[in-house]
Amino acid sequence: MRDDPIVARLRAAGCVFAEQEAAFIRRHLDDPRDVERAVAGRVTGLPLEQAVGAAEFAGTTVAVADGVFVPRIRAESIIRAAVHDLPDARVAVDLGCGCGALAAVLANRLPNADVHAVDIDPAAVVVARCNGRRYGFTAHHGSWWDGLPHDLRGRVDLAVGYLPHVPSDHVLTIHPDFRSHEPLAAVDGGPDGLDHLRTVLDTMPKWLAPGGRFVTLLSAWQADQVGGRVLESDDGDAVVMFG
């Protein structure tokens, strides 16, 4: 049987999961011109999601773009733990939202919540606003809590964030395709990877409602260094709650 031409091109470019990637492309794109654009981009090293312009995250399809952080599947555990712990949250925020993947899933799973997202990267906010219009959340431009509307102070029941937490000297271990197409600031967490978490925790009390919580994902060894409550843990990652 003749090989699938898209699979063949992806395999020749070194894509280990060529069949799955070809299926992903066809799942999200119909126009042959769009398919060709995506395949050509992937062959040159563009991450699959950015090549297609879409990512699948926790059962939700969100728009992404070149130069914007691609949501990591491992971050789905943040949503799972957060919604389980605070299913009645009325105000929820996604800090450092990137394309707004966490916010989109929160809006789906907490239909009665007022969901907001914030990021300091203007390109990310453009994409997050696109996803916000689709899924029903509001995206803001700014740095962590300070980018949110002031009237949310003291009212946030649930905050989530897949914060940059890769130690600076480990950044080069990230796959080169992602390093070339995502902002360094989206992954670099400083010497021990915890600089941004410290910033978020420093002003968190001003924003959380009584009983409010902030949930994030850290490496297991990082979780041992902070004072939060571990909600989920495996060999490499830990979902940690603060507040």
Range with the largest mean pLDDT of 5-9, 43-47, 119-123: 119-123
Q: Which residue has the higher pLDDT, 140 or 189?
A: 140
**Predicted TM-score (pTM) above 0.75:** yes
Q: Let me know whether 34 and 126 are in one domain.
A: no
Q: Let me know whether 136 and 179 are in one domain.
A: yes
For the chain, the 3-state helix, strand and coil shares in percent, each to the nearest 5, are: 45, 20, 30
Q: Let me know whether 34 and 130 are in one domain.
A: no
What would the pLDDT profile of 86-142 be if each residue is shown by its tens digit? Answer: 999 999 999 999 999 999 999 999 999 999 999 999 999 999 999 999 999 999 999
CA distance 193 to 188: 7
Helix or strand or coil: residue 55?
strand
Q: Let me know whether 103 and 43 are in one domain.
A: no
HSE, CB side, 13 Å, CA atoms: give it for residue 218: 27
HSE, CB side, 13 Å, CA atoms: give it for residue 148: 28
CA distance 158 to 107: 12
Rg (CA), the chain: 18
Q: Let me know whether 47 and 104 are in one domain.
A: no
pLDDT > 50? residue 1: no
HSE, CB side, 13 Å, CA atoms: give it for residue 136: 12
Average pLDDT over residues 191-210: 96
In a domain, 180, yes or no: yes
Tell me the residue type at 159.
A
Q: Let me know whether 77 and 48 are in one domain.
A: no
Give the range of the structural domain holding residue 58, as residue numbers without chain letter: 5-63
Q: Let me know whether 223 and 110 are in one domain.
A: yes
152 DSSP assignment? G
Tokens representing residue 95 in the block: 């800090």
Residue 43 — very low, low, confident or very high, per pLDDT cuts 50/70/90?
A: very high
